[in-house]
Amino acid sequence: MSLSEQIENPFLPEPARIVRQYDLIKDHRFFQIRFIDMNRAMSFDYVPGQFAMLSIPGVGEAPFSISSTPSRPGILEMGIRRTGNLTRALFKKKDNDIVYLRGPYGNGFKIEPMVERDIIIVAGGLGVIPLRSILYFVLDNRDQFDELYFLYGARNPNEFLFKNEFFQIKAREDIDCLYSVDKDTTGDWTENTGVVTSLFQKLPKIDPQTTTAVVCGPPIMYKFVIKELLKLKIPKNMIQMTLERRMKCGVGKCGHCALDHIYTCIDGPIFTYWDTLHFRELI
Amino acid sequence: MRILKMKPDFLKEFLMGLEGFGALYGPKRQSGILKYAPIESYDELVLDGENTLLPLKRLFHPMRFDMFRFDSRGFEADYSIFEKRVIIGVHPCEIHGILKLDEVFLVHPPDPYYAGLRKNSAIIGFSCLPAENALCRSTGTDIVAEGFDLFFVDLTDFYLVWVGSSFGYDMILEKEDFFDENVTHEDIQIYIEWREKRNRMFKKSFNFRDMPDIIELSYKSEIWDYFGKKCLSCGQCTMVCPTCNCYNVTDVLDLATETSGRRERMWDSCMFADYSLVAGGHNFRHARADRLKLWYTHKLKAFAHKYGSPACVGCGRCVETCPVDINVLTVSEALTSCEVPEE
Ligand SMILES: Cc1cc2nc3c(=O)[nH]c(=O)nc-3n(C[C@H](O)[C@H](O)[C@H](O)COP(=O)(O)OP(=O)(O)OC[C@H]3O[C@@H](n4cnc5c(N)ncnc54)[C@H](O)[C@@H]3O)c2cc1C
Ligand code: SF4
Ligand code: SF4
Ligand code: FES
């Protein structure tokens, strides 16, 4: 046996095929990816809120949230914004092209504190990409959870991600979807207009003792959303949020994601609001 | 643990005889700089108390190496850095430094490169007398109880040799005649005197024990801004510190191809401006103060994931290296007295 076969290498990126891809909005693309190795494709078990490292040889590697749900195994979905070298190269890939993945990494959402409770999912902008995983996970295991509220705000209708899917879900009886745009630039927006926090007025009466909240969005959004959730008296440790930091290794070795005395790639990227009060600098 | 005695006359033959266990490495002077490097002859070895410029970590967490080769068929791990080595002349603080790095690189999932280099290397520790800036007495890393295969304490007329592993014992067996099992009361007395003499030689110290609380309390202190303003973001402190583990990864294409190349890993520093802990919005000086705070949180308060103990092993290199006198002494002094150093 050669050395490479004997040694387990957590940094080894494994080949995966782009099964399908399409633009969500300008510079944001949706990817469905499947490991070439069928066993790997089926054994890649993850929790909503985890991420994977995606490599393009010669260009580099970067972390991306897994947007699909483990309740639908086999194919991994990601929503990716074009910002730099790696994402630019990724956007040049076509269906059937090969990329490389390793993971899953990070702690993921704690599901247990959500079971048999009401759930409020609050997403702002790109933050909906990781939250889509927990959204579908809850929908696929619907009987394990009580009320489900999904609040999503985008800047304008042209920046509203997963529009078709999310409007389809809206028709379901077992979820309360509240959508908003900061500004209606198109004139045919049928939902709420205003910042995402304005959706809180539309919520029915919430019992804070039986409610868990899950939040992801741009840094500035957290402050305002948390304020609303605290107004509803949801306990601080029942507010889970995902926080991004620069990451290189994903497994607690490279130091890039260090904050205070934690590594966000293993201790995060999901933290409760309570955690963030203890680990300063988180938000 | 077994402790044996050896006469200094045997040292050369014993050490050079270890070649059978792996390539010999040790502190040696090259172009005026003391560094861990392959040893060809005994005379090259520098076994006094002097620190190498770069710590032992460079033999386990190399400054730059290839992690993978890649081509159109994918990635293949490159383990060509592995080599059987016997590293001679390692001081206690260096061994403590490696034990700290173990806590990062060997916890699940272990880093296969670090683990491979570790597994293939024997460590022959050597006692030292404190250098000018040695702080290891303050940090409690002036002696070691583990992390070596053999450890030599130089008591002038003889060496006391601690046997720290079965591999170390195999080395002893090679030259059994050199060693004496009979450690007498008198020898113990000599050792105690040496310890006392050594303890008295430390010129500098700092309040390491109380630093975790003080750092916690000083989170908002303007002292960080003072140091942040001075810091040049040169990253030298991170290069010389035995317990800095940060690295970066980049892909390098082979010349004249678009498909094959290597994925390299190289030291990085959280002190570099582009390390990008704080994205956008913050001004540079503030960011530098935050980076320093993070660094000293690691060194003096707690280290990485779950590990309660601070990472500073008191080698004194930051004291010698920082061009603007930012180091564990000046920082802990400023935080303790709540006063910035005099210009
Ligand atoms: C846990 C985690 C999950 C992520 N999930 C997603 C996702 O689902 N979809 C997605 O599009 N992106 C996601 N990201 C961000 C993504 O990793 C970066 O955008 C990616 O590294 C960009 O690579 P690049 O080479 O194209 O850009 P680069 O050339 O590396 O950078 C381009 C620009 O983006 C900035 N940038 C790079 N990384 C980050 C970061 N982590 N945070 C803020 N700014 C950054 C740089 O400063 C630079 O201005 C996630 C990041 C983390 C840590
Ligand atoms: S902080 Fe300074 S004294 Fe402490 S281990 Fe690092 S370089 Fe040595
Ligand atoms: S060596 Fe000194 S100046 Fe250079 S980065 Fe470190 S603290 Fe800043
Ligand atoms: S990304 Fe490397 S330590 Fe977290």
Band of the pLDDT at B279, cuts 50, 70, 90? very low
Band of the pLDDT at A5, cuts 50, 70, 90? confident
Q: Which one of B57, B68, B100, B239 would you mutate to disrupt binding with A, by most A Cβ within 10 Å of its Cβ?
A: B68
Q: Assess whether B190 and B328 both reside in one domain.
A: no
Q: Which one of B69, B277, B278, B312 would you mutate to disrupt binding with A, by most A Cβ within 10 Å of its Cβ?
A: B277
- Is the Cβ atom of A244 under 6 angstroms away from ligand 1? yes
Are A89 and A117 within 8 A, CB to CB? Answer: no
The ipTM is 0.91
Nearest CA to ligand 4 atom 1: A247
Measure the CA–CA gap between B289 and B295, rounded to whole angstroms.
Answer: 10
The percent of residues above 90 in pLDDT, for chain B, comes to 77
Closest-CA distance of chain B to residue A244, Å = 11
Q: Is B219 on the interface with A (CB under 8 A)?
A: yes
Residue where a domain stops, chosen among B171, B200, B229: B200
Asked whether residue A13 carries a pLDDT value surpassing 90, the answer given is: yes
Asked if B74 and A7 come within 8 Å (Cβ–Cβ), the reply is no
Band of the pLDDT at B250, cuts 50, 70, 90? very high
Mean pLDDT of B315-342: 90
Asked if B258 and A13 come within 8 Å (Cβ–Cβ), the reply is no
Are A193 and A172 within 8 A, CB to CB? Answer: no
Closest CB from A14, A60, A254 relative to B250: A60
Contact residues for B136 (Cβ-Cβ < 8 A; gap 6+): B92, B93, B96, B130, B142, B313, B314, B315, B316
- Residue B282's pLDDT is 46
Does the residue B205 lie in any domain?
no
Q: Assess whether B106 and B176 both reside in one domain.
A: yes
Closest-CA distance of chain B to residue A253, Å = 6
Asked if B261 and A57 come within 8 Å (Cβ–Cβ), the reply is yes
Asked whether residue A24 carries a pLDDT value surpassing 90, the answer given is: yes
Q: B256 or A130: which carries more pLDDT confidence?
A: A130
- Residue B303's pLDDT is 61
Q: Which one of A256, A263, A264 would you mutate to disrupt binding with B, by most B Cβ within 10 Å of its Cβ?
A: A256
A3-105: CATH topology is Elongation Factor Tu (Ef-tu); domain 3 (2.40.30)
Q: Assess whether B157 and B30 both reside in one domain.
A: yes
Asked if A263 and B305 come within 8 Å (Cβ–Cβ), the reply is yes
Band of the pLDDT at B160, cuts 50, 70, 90? very high
Mean pLDDT of B327-331: 94
Closest-CA distance of chain B to residue A259, Å = 7
Nearest to residue B160, comparing CAs of B195, B136, B130?
B195
Mean pLDDT of B191-201: 95
Adjacency order of strands within the sheet including B23-30: B33-38, B23-30, B85-90, B121-126, B150-154, B159-163, B2-6, B179-180
Q: Assess whether B222 and B280 both reside in one domain.
A: yes
Does the residue B145 lie in any domain?
yes
Q: B306 or A126: which carries more pLDDT confidence?
A: A126
Closest CB from A9, A100, A262 relative to B305: A262
In order of A223, A258, B252, the CA distances from A218 in angstroms are 10, 20, 33
Q: Assess whether B18 and B165 both reside in one domain.
A: yes
Q: Assess whether B267 and B326 both reside in one domain.
A: yes
Q: Is B217 on the interface with A (CB under 8 A)?
A: no
Interval B69-83: pLDDT, tens: 999 999 999 999 999
Does the residue B59 lie in any domain?
yes
Ligand 1: centre distance to CA A56 (Å): 15
Determine the Cα angle at A118 with ends A114 and A120, to 5°: 90
Does the residue B206 lie in any domain?
no
Number of CB atoms found within 10 A of residue B144's CB: 21
- Residue B289's pLDDT is 85
Residue where a domain stops, chosen among B174, B200, B226: B200
Question: Could you report how far apart the first and last alpha carbons of chain A are, in Å?
Answer: 48
Number of CB atoms found within 10 A of residue A283's CB: 15
Q: Assess whether B48 and B175 both reside in one domain.
A: yes
Share the mean pLDDT of chain A. 93
Domain that holds residue B131: 2-200
Q: Assess whether B43 and B180 both reside in one domain.
A: yes
Q: Which residue from B135, B136, B142, B326 has its CB within 8 A of the most atoms of ligand 2, so it is best to mutate?
A: B135
Asked whether residue B306 carries a pLDDT value surpassing 80, the answer given is: no
Does the residue B86 lie in any domain?
yes
Band of the pLDDT at B261, cuts 50, 70, 90? very high
Measure the CA–CA gap between B74 and A100, rounded to whole angstroms.
Answer: 8
Structurally, chain B folds into a number of domains equal to 2
Would you report the helix, strand and coil content of chain A in percent, each value rounded to 5?
A: 30, 30, 40
Asked whether residue A93 carries a pLDDT value surpassing 50, the answer given is: yes
Band of the pLDDT at B117, cuts 50, 70, 90? very high
Band of the pLDDT at A200, cuts 50, 70, 90? very high
Closest CB from B110, B247, B276 relative to A246: B276
Asked if B68 and A249 come within 8 Å (Cβ–Cβ), the reply is no
Q: Is A251 on the interface with B (CB under 8 A)?
A: yes
Asked if B305 and A58 come within 8 Å (Cβ–Cβ), the reply is no
Provide the whole-model pTM. 0.93
Residues of B in contact with A61 (CB under 8 A): 249
Does the residue B247 lie in any domain?
yes
Q: Assess whether B75 and B171 both reside in one domain.
A: yes
- Residue A2's pLDDT is 76
Q: Assess whether B226 and B77 both reside in one domain.
A: no
Q: Assess whether B190 and B252 both reside in one domain.
A: no
Does the residue B42 lie in any domain?
yes
Interval A235-281: pLDDT, tens: 999 999 988 788 999 999 999 888 877 888 999 999 999 988 876 65
Query: Domain residues of chain A, as ranges?
Result: 3-105, 112-282
Q: Which residue from A11, A102, A253, A259 has its CB within 8 A of the most atoms of ligand 4, so it is best to mutate?
A: A253
- Residue A243's pLDDT is 82
CATH number of A112-282: 3.40.50.80
Contact residues for B47 (Cβ-Cβ < 8 A; gap 6+): B26, B27, B88, B89, B126, B154
Interval A127-141: pLDDT, tens: 999 999 999 999 999
- Residue B342's pLDDT is 66
- Is the Cβ atom of A65 under 6 angstroms away from ligand 1? yes
Residue where a domain stops, chosen among B151, B175, B200: B200
Does the residue B189 lie in any domain?
yes
Closest-CA distance of chain B to residue A261, Å = 5
Mean pLDDT of A151-167: 95
Two tokens, residue B118: 């570790």
Q: Assess whether B169 and B188 both reside in one domain.
A: yes
- Residue B277's pLDDT is 46
Two tokens, residue B73: 């068929």
